[in-house]
Homo-oligomer: A and B are copies of this chain.
Amino acid sequence: MAELTHFNDQHRAKMVDVTAKAVTARTATATGRIKMHPETLARIHAGTMKKGDVLAVAQVAGIMAAKQTSNLIPMCHLIPLTGVDIHFTDNDHDCITITTTVKTKHVTGVEIEALNACQIAALTIYDMCKAIDRGMIIENVHLVEKAGGKSGHFKFDAPTE
C-alpha cells in the first residue's frame, strides 16, 4: 500500500518538504453542488435579477476563501495564487453547481484551494438562504482536473452512481 507522505518519523503530521520541487504553472478545477428546495432556487433567480444577488456574494466568498486555504488546512503550503474564477450553473429546478478554477506558478498544486473555494461558495449560498431553507445539502464536491507539476495530469473519472 502506498505510504501517506504527511507524517514524520515520530508518526506525527508534517508539512511535506517541497523545497527542491520545480516552479511550474499549475491549474486545478473543482466542482460541487448545493441542492435546495425548488422555491429557494426560484428565490435566488428572482434576486439575481432584481432584489439582491446571492451568487455575487458567494463568488466573492469563494475567491477570498481560496486565498485563505493554507490558514485552514493544516499541512497545506501557502501558495501565491495567480488566478481564481468561479462559475455557477443550475438545473433550473433545485440545484446550483459551482465550478472553481485556480491557477498558480509555484512548487505545489492548487487542488485544495479549488475545493475550498467551492465549499465556501456553497456554504455562503446556504448562509444567505438559510432563513427560508435549512435543509439544503452540499454534495458531490470533488476535483475535476488538475494540470502541471510532477504528478502530472489528473482527470476525475466519475463513478457510476
Residues of A at the B interface (CB closer than 8 Å) are 1-8, 10-21, 25, 32, 39, 42-43, 46-47, 50-57, 59-61, 63-68, 70-88, 103-107, 111-112, 115-116, 119-120, 123-124, 126-132, 134-143, 146, 151, 154, 156-157, 159
Known contacts A60-B61, A83-B17, A104-B19: A2-B71 contact under CB 8 Å: no
User: In the docked arrangement, what's the CA distance between A138 and B50, Å?
Assistant: 29
Which one of B1, B21, B87, B129 lies within 8 Å of A42 (CB-CB)?
Answer: B1
Known contacts A4-B54, A15-B81: A143-B135 contact under CB 8 Å: yes
User: In the docked arrangement, what's the CA distance between A146 and B130, Å?
Assistant: 12
Expressed in whole angstroms, the minimum distance between the Cβ of A51 and any Cβ of chain B is 5
A15–B63 touching, CB < 8 Å: yes
User: In the docked arrangement, what's the CA distance between A14 and B101, Å?
Assistant: 10
Closest 4 CB pairs of A and B: A7-B52, A17-B83, A138-B141, A15-B84
Known contacts A25-B19, A57-B75: A134-B129 contact under CB 8 Å: no
User: In the docked arrangement, what's the CA distance between A65 and B64, Å?
Assistant: 12
B116–A123 touching, CB < 8 Å: yes
B residues near A59, Cβ cutoff 8 Å: 12-13
Expressed in whole angstroms, the minimum distance between the Cβ of A81 and any Cβ of chain B is 7
Known contacts A39-B1, A105-B19: A10-B88 contact under CB 8 Å: yes
A87–B10 touching, CB < 8 Å: yes
User: In the docked arrangement, what's the CA distance between A138 and B105, Å?
Assistant: 27
